[in-house]
């Protein structure tokens, strides 16, 4: 029996959540990507101490949803798996760019733009910016990984024009000293000038650290 696998491009309704209200007072536009086994709104809870008049946050949700345990209960989502990986990278890149561009064209000209990805969301952001040209001021892979299989010299996005911050908790169970050294080596090989910020914490978005990154890098930059 001869079996063949095929692909079909089909429209899909995507879901995203927002925090704040875009207006002429908006100073900071955040585009935040959740980690695996999460939902979009979970990322927004981390911004509740940010002024919703000056911060507008968009959180897209991964295109693949599933029950976290068996056939019922909580529903979560993911950005990609190892199956049909290249197609999934293309799909979420087009999705993220479409949603990002939809809002960027409406923000004030002086508004700073930030892409942040937690865990799998950080890897997703890196692959998206490699796949499609994106103009953004700041990139924050948070408790994430820097993909080693990307040729950063031929990326669609100009990495040199982005202020890049990698932050992680020193007690993160997925990022021990060996893994952090590997990340630094990948950055060196790819000529990626990441600012690396460690803090006491585990594998989660820490509100205090997020606020610190904002004040130290984003708020201060002219």
pLDDT in tens, 96-150: 999 999 999 999 999 999 999 999 999 999 999 999 999 999 999 999 999 999 9
Closest to 123 in 3D by CA, of 184, 60, 33, 197: 33
Residue with tokens 């002086």: 110
pLDDT at 221: 78
pLDDT at 72: 86
User: How far apart (Å, rounded) are the C-alpha atoms in residues 159 and 136?
Assistant: 10
pLDDT at 1: 81
Close Cβ partners of 155 (under 8 Å, ≥ 6 residues apart) = 129, 130
- In the three-class reduction of DSSP (H, G, I as helix; E, B as strand; rest coil), residue 167 is classed as strand
pLDDT at 131: 96
32, 164, 191 from 159: Cα distances, Å: 18, 8, 9
Residue with tokens 């040209």: 133
Mean pLDDT score of the chain:
95
pTM for the model:
0.95
Which domains does the chain possess? Answer: 16-63+77-218 (3.40.50.1820)
pLDDT at 70: 82
- In the three-class reduction of DSSP (H, G, I as helix; E, B as strand; rest coil), residue 180 is classed as helix
């Amino acid at each position: 029996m001869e079996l063949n696998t095929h692909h079909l491009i089909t429209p899909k309704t995507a879901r995203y959540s927002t925090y704040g209200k875009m207006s002429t007072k908006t100073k900071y536009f955040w585009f935040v990507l959740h980690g695996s086994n999460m939902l979009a709104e979970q990322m927004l809870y981390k911004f509740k101490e940010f002024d919703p008049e000056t911060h507008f946050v968009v959180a897209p949700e991964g295109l693949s949803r599933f029950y976290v345990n068996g056939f019922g209960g909580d529903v979560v989502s993911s950005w990609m798996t190892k199956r049909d990986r290249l197609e999934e990278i293309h799909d979420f890149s087009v999705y993220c760019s479409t949603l990002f561009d939809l809002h960027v064209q409406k923000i004030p000209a002086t508004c700073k733009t930030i892409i942040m990805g937690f865990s799998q969301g950080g890897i997703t952001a890196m692959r998206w910016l490699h796949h499609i040209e994106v103009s953004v001021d700041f990139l924050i892979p948070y408790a994430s990984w820097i993909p080693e299989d990307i040729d950063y010299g031929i990326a669609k996005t100009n990495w040199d024009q982005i202020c890049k911050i990698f932050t992680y908790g020193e007690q993160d169970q997925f990022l021990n000293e060996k893994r952090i050294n590997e990340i630094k080596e990948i950055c060196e090989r790819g000529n990626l000038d990441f600012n690396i910020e460690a803090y006491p914490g585990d594998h989660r978005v820490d509100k205090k650290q997020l606020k610190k990154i904002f004040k130290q890098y984003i708020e201060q930059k002219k």
